[in-house]
Amino acid sequence: MPAGNNFFDAIVVGTGISGGWAAKELTEKGLKTLVLDRGRMVKHGEYPTALEQIWELPYAGRPTQDDLQHQMVTQRAGVLTQANKHWFVDDTEHPYIEKKPFGWVRGYHVGGRSIMWGRQSYRWSPMDFEANAKENIAVDWPIRYEDLAPWYDRVESFIGVSGQAEGYTQLPDGKFLPPMALNCVELHLKEAIASKMGRALTIGRTANLTAPLAHSPQRGTCQYRNLCVRGCPFGAYFSSNSSTLPAAEKTGNMTLRPNSIVYELIFDAKNDRASGVRVLDAETNEQMEFHAKVIFLCASTFGSTSILMNSVSSRFPEGFGNDSGELGCNIMDHHLGIGATALVEGFDDQYYSGQRPNGIYIPRFVNIGKDKRSYLRGFGYQGGAGRSGWTRLMEDATLGADLKTKAAQPGPWGMRLVGFGETLPYHDNRVVFDRARKDKHGLPVLEFDAGMRENETKMRKDMATEAATMLDAAGFKNVREYDNADDLGMGIHEMGTARMGWDPKTSVLNAWNQVHACKNVYVTDGSCMTSSACQNPSLTYMALTARAADHAVQELKRMNL
């Protein structure tokens, strides 16, 4: 193996949800680890708008026309503001092609989307890992819930997940910090749907600290500001920047290099293994190589897959590890933008304290037990209840002292349910390179050809109808269904493209997240997913990464890598 400053025990590509965990686990187990990120350096606390008030932001926080021209994809997702635009890529510098509408929301900086994520942290259930096999869809997961359960424990205990233990079969309990409180309207809905429909509702399970963590004294508890997308200077929610990267740095075994675009794996044909990575410096355009015994790709679903697709050799003419032809295929996301809203009467004498950065969760109830629908799989709901504020008066004709009096009073209660539906893994939902078109670094751009199918369309009808039915059951008023015609990608839960499986002929990765054809390369971000369930996937990415890192260290000790 090469020697010198460019050789390490391990290389981790990416510093987001998965990459931070790979860095932490590998360094804590004694491996000298190079951690590469294509974006700029961001240290914990370096969140420029975290403490600014809305009136201190330009244009009252709203994006300008110039912002929209450069960050239209982020705007399509409904999350672009003056307070967070610095966390999202410039689409003119980093373009991609949509054969069908597809949203690819990205953040190129150390910490990745762990800074901006929604923090909802749900375990998948046994039925989620078994569904493909039982329904003969795509390929079977090569693991089961029991394989991942101890790693869910490990991850939850470290990141801090607040939530309520409920005993739901379809939504396993975890290692929880004290739950945030449901407000009076949410409690009413919980009781109504339980008594009338036999359905469950719980407070969201979120990676926001509601109590101190002894092992992370640098992190404070949640301040209930609900400004998480800006970055939290208190460290109250889990991010790589506040949690896993500091833990890795503390070991003395991590070398972190930002502005380092990994564009290719180096394949050593003589030894039938990957020997390292080729990197383009994002600031100087210098090309360089780094070498290691083991490589973890954690660059996000399409980031890792693009590296694999670009790593072409005589052994892998169709992309690294692509003996199955499944690389780039089976794109999944959660389809949302659909549900119901209602006005709520009878609670005007009650309010709530703070801006809770969390909502409610209604776990899946369709296609479970005796409930059978005309489609496969199911959906859950997020959302919540609240009282409208002074912005409701922006078109009010009242002036002067009377307007001030109105604005000082809270508005009416409202309730919103938002469905999150599972997308099936379709082989021809895929991404490929368009090598004729380049990004600002001269690298080929990705072309997406993916969309929802009949199963998802049928499911969406129930997602709206059932939401309205539950709001009606609670006695709420002016119940209205809505469907904002969601595109894939807008859930920002992209999965698939390098799936796990038993058979190298039909999958890219094995049960330990190793590339079937090259065991010293692990892929542990969303690209590894074999199905999508309907729960937020980030907790599962972290558990898979911790499990894979432990396996890699054991295999190195056995001299198998």
Pull the structure tokens for residue 222: 């949640």
Separation CA 2–CA 5 (nearest Å): 9
pLDDT digits (tens, 9 = 90+) for 163-199: 999 999 999 999 999 999 999 999 999 999 999 999 9
Name the average pLDDT for the chain. 96
What 3 state SS string does 94-134 have? CCCEECCCCCCCCCCECCHHHCCCCCECCCCCHHHHHHHHH
The reply to whether CATH 3.50.50.60 applies to domain 1-45+67-125+257-331+494-561 is: yes
What average pLDDT does the segment 147-160 reach?
98
What 3 state SS string does 260-323 have? EEEEEEEEECCCCEEEEEEEEECCCCCEEEEEEEEEEECCCHHHHHHHHHHCCCCCCCCCCCCC
CB 302 within 8 A of CB 527: yes
* pLDDT given at position 4: 57
In this structure, what are the phi and psi dihedrals at residue 192, rounded to the nearest 5 degrees?
Answer: -65, -50
215 confidence band (pLDDT: 50, 70, 90): very high
Separation CA 407–CA 421 (nearest Å): 38
With 60 as the cut, is the pLDDT of residue 300 above it?
yes
Residues 6+ apart with CB under 8 A from 148: 124, 129, 540, 543, 544, 547
- Determine what percent of the chain is predicted with pLDDT higher than 90: 93
What average pLDDT does the segment 363-381 reach?
97
With 60 as the cut, is the pLDDT of residue 153 above it?
yes
* pLDDT given at position 485: 85
1 confidence band (pLDDT: 50, 70, 90): very low
With 90 as the cut, is the pLDDT of residue 398 above it?
no
26 confidence band (pLDDT: 50, 70, 90): very high
Pull the structure tokens for residue 247: 């833990």
What average pLDDT does the segment 138-161 reach?
98
pLDDT digits (tens, 9 = 90+) for 61-95: 999 999 999 999 999 999 999 999 999 999 999 99
Pull the structure tokens for residue 244: 């896993």
Q: Tell me the torsion sign for CA atoms 192, 195, 196, 199.
A: positive
The residue among 66, 70, 88 whose CA lies nearest residue 79 is 88
What average pLDDT does the segment 386-394 reach?
84
Residue 276's Cβ-side half-sphere holds a number of Cα atoms within 13 Å equal to 16
pLDDT digits (tens, 9 = 90+) for 304-332: 999 999 999 999 999 999 999 999 999 99
What average pLDDT does the segment 350-360 reach?
95
Least confident window among 292-301, 396-405, 472-481: 396-405
pLDDT digits (tens, 9 = 90+) for 487-516: 999 999 999 999 999 999 999 999 999 999
Between vectors from CA 199 to CA 197 and to CA 200, what angle results, nearest 5°? 150
- Rounded (10°) CA dihedral 220, 224, 225, 230: 50
Residue type, 451: G
* pLDDT given at position 389: 81
